[in-house]
Amino acid sequence: MSAASVLPALTADEVAHGARLEARIRDEIAAAGGCIGFARYMQLALYEPGLGYYSAGARKFGAAGDFITAPEVAPVFSRCLAAQCAEVLQALGGGDVLELGAGSGVMAAEMLAELERRGALPRRYLILDVSADLRERQHATLAAAVPHLLPRVEWLERLPEALDGVVVANEVLDAMPVERFVVRGDRVQSLGVRAQPDRLQACEAEAPAVLADAVRAIGRDTGVAWPEGYTSEVNLGLAGWLQSLAGAVARGVLLFVDYGLPRREYYATERRDGTLLCHFRHRFHDDPFARPGLQDITAWVDFTAVAAAGSAAGLQLAGFATQAHFLIGCGIGEFLADVSDLDVVSRVNLSRQAMVLTLPGEMGERFKAIALTKGYDAPLRGFAVRDLRHTL
């Protein structure tokens, strides 16, 4: 059964929107001679101005959208992140926070409120999102929740220069375009995208050298003999992206939270179909061509690649932990204990949030936090409970 046949039906507007984006993708496939790489497809499907999933009006986050992220489901997540930021800002003697991919703006609002409560407000709270469409929504969220702190918030078009402070990004790495590959004997094939009359479809072609080399390097690194037809993904844009980020920071910490694994587990033989996942109205499936422009497309994060790219960009790997351990280190227990002002419903809600964030069967182990630093060597509380750097 195809993914489309079990997904909720589309409205006429959604059908028209999807058709406009698909026409744009088909034009590009035709111009490229019949096949484009998967990363280019993902870039168009998610970020094509005015048409892509993140760049057009879809609701996306929250109960009425397609998926729920930690800051959407649990404000205490952002408060814990604020506790980590406060520690860094205090050690630096002040500075800025830069949030990448701020989504609906809830994390920014909650973090600013908690930083204020701690007397640790950043000089500026900067937001940079590839999707300009989300800016209005972020502004509205912040204006409703923390209007008096809005003057500190700045939306950027590009990375700043010489930032002192903290860069935070929740579920951004998983939204970056990836290349797909398939192993055929001792060859690496690229799994690109072609157009059939009725739908877009995967197509195999000889992998460009940059992809084949990257996959062979992963094979050498993991020492795994992949079975025939083994399919997975690799983010070839990661190294350049981290290089630019490292160039934007003078002193401070880059903190990424996302779902993913150390490389040896990510590319284990049993994960033979890769990690690509699509979300549409809280259903998930693995067909990236089912609803281009209307569904989210994500891939898990290879955290070993993040650490290696950071190191190549001159950053220090300062911590790697499960989300559960990271949040415990940031003081989620203190938030749970400090409930004297809360009514009974709010207390129950807070405990429920903590369970979703930390239980192994929920987000606690699937999600990880990784910290890269530049010119900063003070300890980071989020990694004090259990640091798994040795697994990368």
Using rule CB under 6 A, residue 71 touches ligand SAM? yes
Cβ 296 vs Cβ 275: under 8 Å: no
Looking at the Cβ atoms of 131 and 353, the one nearer to ligand SAM is: 131
Binder among 92, 128, 253, 255 for ligand SAM (CB under 6 A): 128
Cβ 20 vs Cβ 304: under 8 Å: no
Residues 6 or more apart whose Cβ sits within 8 Å of residue 179: 37, 38, 39, 190, 211, 233, 234, 235, 236
Element at 242 (helix H, strand E): helix 238-248
Looking at the Cβ atoms of 128 and 254, the one nearer to ligand SAM is: 128
Binder among 83, 115, 134, 350 for ligand SAM (CB under 6 A): 134
In degrees, rounded to 5, the angle at the alpha carbon of residue 369 between the alpha carbons of residues 366 and 370 is: 130
Using rule CB under 6 A, residue 319 touches ligand SAM? no
Using rule CB under 6 A, residue 65 touches ligand SAM? no
Using rule CB under 6 A, residue 103 touches ligand SAM? yes
Using rule CB under 6 A, residue 164 touches ligand SAM? no
Looking at the Cβ atoms of 175 and 363, the one nearer to ligand SAM is: 175
Work out whether strand 249-261 and strand 301-302 pair parallel, antiparallel, or are unpaired: parallel
Compute the distance between CA of residue 160 and CA of residue 338 in angstroms, rounded to an integer: 37
Using rule CB under 6 A, residue 258 touches ligand SAM? no
- For residue 234, give the nearest of 185, 302, 282 by alpha carbon: 302
Which region among 100-108, 195-203, 299-307, 381-389 touches ligand SAM (by CB under 6 A)? 100-108
Question: Interface mask (CB under 6 A) for ligand SAM, residues 347-386, using x and -?
Answer: ----------------------------------------
Using rule CB under 6 A, residue 297 touches ligand SAM? no
Within 10 angstroms of residue 119's Cβ, the number of other Cβ atoms is 8
Binder among 44, 175, 200, 245 for ligand SAM (CB under 6 A): 175
Q: Which residues bind ligand SAM (CB under 6 A)?
A: 54, 61, 69, 71-72, 100-103, 107, 128-131, 134, 170-172, 175-176
